[in-house]
Structure 1
Amino acid sequence: MSQNRSHAVMAQRAEPHDSLDFFPTPPWATRALCWHVLRELFGPTEDMTVWEPACGIGSMVMPLKERFRRVYSSDVHDYSHLWPGQERVDDFLMYGSESPCIEKQGVDLIVTNPPFRLGVQFARRALEAPFVHRGVALLVRTAFLESVERHRLFTEHPPAVVAQFVERVPMVKGRLSRTASTATSYAWIVWARGNTDTRLRWIPPCRKALERASDWPADEVAA
């Protein structure tokens, strides 16, 4: 029997309830957020601070460091053996898990690719945190826009922008892969304090312009 490769089937990504749901973000997708979304909403970000609370192996942290003055990184799992840049091992969903520095000084933004099944909890935690001064950006499957539970989230906390990728953003469980492909569609959902007039934007084709050889494992670049 041949495999069913329809879009509806291929776009599904089922994970066990206790899975870390660790799918590293291709760095170019974070640069796309910075160039095509955040600059329009917030202006220059070079003097801003940001927290990535599901940092994994740092694939989102590194491009954020290109555009922000200070990037904090943490994850519920210890990935420091794969990426020494991880600063803390903390459960973002536990109130009080933020570092003393973040609690005292706050951050301008939270930017992350949350576990899909915990996306609503990540959004609420970030949006309701008093130490987040300007906004929140979550990279999610476009299917995240559906469901009654998420409708409640969007009604109570209307985002400023839904930025839909027109290109696919391929992600592979547990690793970065330059050659991966996917049928799953992704978008950035961005909330900005005081901005509740949700707009739909398209992120134009930009992978070729924004990715770098240094983003990928050496064996992938050489392939």
Structure 2
Amino acid sequence: MSRKPSRAVMEARAPASVERDDAVTALYRALDYFPTPPWAARAGAELVQRLDPLAKTVWEPACGEGHMAGPLAEYFSVFASDIHPHGFGLVEDFLQPSLERRAWSADWVITNPPFKDLSGFVSRGLEVARSGVAMLLRTAAVESGGRYSLIQALSLQATFSERVSMRLGFWDPDHSFATTYSWFVWMHPDAEARSPLRQAIVEARAIGGWPHVLVPPGARDRLWHADDVRKYAKLAPAPLFDGASA
């Protein structure tokens, strides 16, 4: 009977995989670039609207090729930027903004950030967002002692009950991976106070937690648009290494 390789075996194989990277793959890996399925971005937009019905403007600071910014623009006025010139949005380092852009703000910062820079993106996002920050992350983001204080400050977590497929460098609409994802939301106190979900937030905080909901089955079909593949899917940039999801 065959068995799945252990975590130790997979970790031992990882350096060999990285060594096989071509220049494009190496760049995407350095950028931690895993484009968001458009339907999952729309689920995040609906979540923010539920938390803050008055939200109008959004800053998407890790926009890549627009996989999230494009769908968000169906709900909000969106400003998009990224540290790398992917051909979509302004080229700007969100964590080290230029002088003329340090005062920019929006109602919300919504993004799928480089995981290694998660804490920095949340902190910077709360500086520039008037209401809050929503981040699409691996659900395992909660499993870190170093992020304990950050996670304890959550206003809400929404975990997908369906798989959100993310691959290095491109969106593949035909594949699924075992990784689970959640929307993690942090709100300023005044935004929490006026939110329709304020009572749930207060009651969860009273027992040392935060509200945790499920994005229900069927969201993928409901939020999938007929032209998403034409707009956002592309062939894998050969010879991109076919590695695991984010």
The TM-score normalised by the length of structure 2 is 0.73
Work out the CA distance in 2 between the residues paired with 1:60 and 1:186.
15
The match for 1:33 among 44, 64, 75 is 44
- CA shift digits 1:49-90 (9 cap, x unpaired): 10000000001011111001x21111111001xxxxx23111
**Aligned with 2:227: secondary structure?**
helix
Q: Residue 79 of structure 1: which of 73, 86, 89 is its match?
A: 86
Residues 1:220 and 1:58: Cα distance change in structure 2 (over 3 Å): closer
Q: For 1:140 and 1:217, how far apart are their aligned partners in 2?
A: 25
Alignment of 1:5-16 (within 5 A): none
Give the Cα separation in 2 of the matches to 1:113 and 1:199.
Answer: 21
Partner of 1:19, secondary structure, is helix
Q: How does 1:107-186 map to 2 (within 5 A)?
A: 107-127=106-126, 129=127, 131-155=128-152, 158-186=153-181
Worse-matched range after superposition: 188-197 or 170-179: 188-197
- Whether the 8 Å contact between 1:50 and 1:107 is mirrored in structure 2 is yes
> Quick one: which amino acid aligns to residue 31 of structure 1?
R
Q: Give, in whole Å, the separation in 2 of the partners of 1:112 and 1:162.
A: 15
Q: CA deviation at 1:154?
A: 2.5
Residue of structure 2 equivalent to 1:199 = 211
RMSD: 3.0
Counterpart AA for 2:93: D
Structure with greater helix share of residues: 2
Computing the radius of gyration from Cα coordinates, the structure with the larger value is: 2
Name the SS for the 2:149 alignment partner.
Answer: helix
Identity among equivalent positions (%) equals 41
| Alignment check: 8 A CA contact 1:111 1:138 kept | yes
Alignment partners' CA distance in 2, 1:19 and 1:74: 18
Residue 89 of structure 1 is aligned with which of 88, 91, 99? Answer: 91
Could you tell me which runs of 5 or more consecutive residues in structure 2 were left unpaired when the two chains were aligned.
19-25, 193-200, 235-246
1:103 aligns with 2:98: no
Q: For the residues of structure 1 that align with 2:42 and 2:124, how far apart are their CA atoms?
A: 24
Shift, 1:217, TM fit: 3.9
Match of 2:226 in 1: 213
Task: Judge conservation of contact 1:41–1:192 (CA < 8 Å) in 2.
Answer: no
**Structure 2 counterpart of 1:33, one-letter code:** G
TM-score normalised by the chain length of structure 1: 0.80
- Structure 1 residue ranges, 4+ long, deviating more than 3 angstroms after superposition: 5-10, 14-18, 96-100, 217-221
- Of residues 169, 183, 188, the one that matches 2:183 is 188
Query: What is the CA–CA distance in structure 1 between the aligned matches of 2:140 and 2:39, rounded to whole Å?
Result: 21
1:29–1:97 Cα change, 3 Å: farther
> What amino acid is the match of 1:20?
L
Summarize the Cα distance change of 1:98–1:112 in structure 2 as closer, same or farther, 3 Å threshold. Answer: farther
SS at match of 1:126: helix
> 1:26 is matched by which residue type in structure 2?
P
Q: Aligned AA for 1:151?
A: Y
Residue 161 and residue 8 in structure 1: after superposition, are their counterparts in 2 closer, same or farther (change >3 A)? farther
Residue 147 of structure 2 aligns to a residue whose secondary structure is: helix
Asked if the contact 1:33/1:188 (under 8 Å) is kept, the reply is: yes
**Number of positions where the alignment pairs a residue of Structure 1 with one of Structure 2:** 202
- Please state whether the residue corresponding to 2:103 is helix, strand or coil: helix
